[in-house]
Each structure stands twice: as C-alpha cells, then as structure tokens.
C-alpha cells in the first residue's frame, strides 16, 4: 500500500469529522480549568506535555503500540482491552475510552472485511492500534497521529473553555510537536512493562469532574 493511502487513512480515522465523538470529552481539562490550575497557554502546554510523558495518554500509547504489533492475534487484543479497561482511573475516563472505542470500530468497519476488527468493548487506544496494525501502517507515524489527535482535542476543548484562542492553540500545536514525536518514538519501542503514570493531580481532577456543575464536557 502506498504511503499516501496510509496518510489518508490516518487522517480520516483521527480526523475531528470521524464519528468517535471526541469533541464531547475534555479528559479532566474542564475540571482543572474550573479549579484554576489551567488558566493560560503556558499552563495548558505544561499539562499536555506532562500527560503525554507521564499520564494516561502515555499508557494509551503503550497499549496502542502493543495492539498494533498483535493486531492479528485476537486473544492478545482481548487481553490488552481488558488491561486498558482495568487501568481507567475514573468512571468518566472509562466511558470516554469505551464509547469512543465502540464508535471508532463501527466507523472504521468501512475499511475492513466483516469480523476483522476487534469486537466491543474495546477501548479507543487498543481499537485504533489494532486497526492501524491490521493495515500494516508505519507504527511510529500511526502513534504520532493518534497522539496528535489527542493533543488537538485538548486544544479544541481549551478553546471552548476560553483558555486560549485559535491563534494561541496554533502556537501550542507548533510548540508541542517535539513532545508528540518523542512520545511516539518512545511508545513504538515500548512494551506493556513500560506502563506507568504519575499525573496524580490530573487524575484527581478527572474524578472530581463527575460532580462539576454546570459542565460543557462529558469528562
């Protein structure tokens, strides 16, 4: 398959137009904005970089890489799904991962023969990792696209929460490029033994979002 086809598929599957419903989730950002910890472009950049390196997105990238490598092995994919579900640190994060995973698999079915993709409940990171692996895409590029989609989604949420404007978000996209690329490269070489996070206050914020009223986001 040509690299142009790979690029187009990654862009389609991880596009805001793809019906995974990512726009509805903030991954705890809304709570941290509400609490004042995130209040400008600089603090937003710090959060995104910390989560990429040491937070749930890092774990998602490790599980993505493992699912990518084992995409044809249904039993391993089921084990990775179970692990990803068990790692969800709050109810909203659990829903965010599973609802987006189910929506992704339904829409991605347009590219696959029936039964080729994992069945639900498969969390998003394992679902996208398996789909990219089944298409034999380049692993590091697929990981970078997956992480980039998460960063874009955080920035989109930050715009709606009035933390940054459109041009501020564009500057952060540029500044965060090295962090995305480094995380993708690190994740490509990872195994599930490299799982690990320490974003304790972000985890607490994700829990406390459950009782935030009023709210714009589902997480």
Distance CA 186, CA 181 (A): 9
State which of positions 92-131 bind another protein (CB under 8 A): 92, 94
59 binds another protein (CB under 8 A): yes
47-55, 65-73, 136-144, 170-178 -> range binding another protein (CB under 8 A): 47-55
Q: Which residue has the tokens 């995380």?
A: 183
CA–CA gap between residue 19 and residue 37 (Å, rounded): 31
216 near another protein, rule: CB under 8 A = no
Looking up tokens 């993709």 gives 117
Nearer to another protein (CB atom), residue 14 or residue 50:
50
- By CB under 8 A, which span of 15-23, 87-95, 128-136, 153-161 interacts with another protein? 87-95
Output the smallest distance, CB 147 to another protein, in A. Answer: 16
What residues contact residue 134 under an 8 Å CB cut-off, 6+ apart? 71, 72, 112, 116, 117
- Under the binding rule (CB under 8 A), the answer on residue 61 touching another protein is no
For residue 109, CA distances in Å to 1, 32, 106, 113 come to 18, 36, 5, 7
How many alpha carbons lie under 13 Å from residue 213 in its C-beta half-sphere?
Answer: 1
Among 194, 219, 173, residue whose Cα is nearest residue 49: 173
CB of 192 to another protein, least distance (A): 9
Nearer to another protein, 51 or 142 (CB): 51
Query: Which one among 89, 118, 123, 133 touches another protein, defined by CB under 8 A?
Result: 89
Pick 28 or 135: Cβ nearer another protein? 28
Question: In this chain, which of 1, 86, 113, 214 binds another protein, going by CB under 8 A?
Answer: 86
Q: Which stretch binds another protein (CB under 8 A): 5-13, 69-77, 158-166, 194-202?
A: 194-202
**75 binding another protein? (CB under 8 A):** no
Is residue 57 within 8 A of residue 181, CB to CB? The reply is no
- Interacting residues with another protein between 16 and 35 (CB under 8 A): 32
The candidate with the shortest Cα–Cα distance to 55, out of 87, 102, 94, 96, is: 87
Q: Is 28 left (phi over 0), alpha (psi -120 to 50) or beta?
A: left
User: Contact positions toward another protein, by CB under 8 A?
Assistant: 32, 37-38, 43, 46-47, 50-51, 53-55, 59, 82-83, 86-92, 94, 195-208, 210-211
């Amino acid at each position: 398959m040509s690299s142009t086809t790979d690029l187009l598929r990654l862009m389609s599957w991880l596009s805001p137009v793809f019906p995974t419903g990512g726009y509805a989730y903030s991954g705890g950002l809304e709570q941290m904005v509400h609490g004042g910890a995130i209040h400008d472009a600089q603090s937003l950049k710090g959060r995104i970089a910390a989560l990429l390196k040491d937070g749930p997105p890092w774990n998602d990238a490790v599980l993505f890489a493992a699912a990518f490598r084992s995409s044809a092995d249904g039993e391993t994919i089921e084990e990775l799904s179970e692990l990803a579900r068990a790692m969800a640190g709050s109810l909203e994060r659990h829903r965010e991962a599973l609802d987006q995973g189910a929506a992704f698999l339904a829409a991605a079915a347009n590219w696959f023969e029936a039964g080729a993709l994992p069945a639900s409940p498969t969390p998003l990171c394992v679902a996208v990792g398996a789909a990219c692996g089944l298409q034999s895409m380049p692993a590091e590029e697929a990981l970078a696209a997956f992480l980039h989609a998460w960063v874009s989604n955080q920035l989109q949420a930050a715009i709606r929460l009035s933390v940054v404007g459109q041009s501020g978000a564009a500057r952060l996209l540029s500044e965060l490029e090295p962090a995305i690329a480094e995380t993708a490269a690190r994740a490509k070489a990872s195994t599930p033994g490299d799982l690990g996070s320490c974003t304790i206050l972000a985890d607490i914020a994700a829990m406390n979002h459950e009782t935030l009223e009023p709210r714009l986001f589902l997480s």
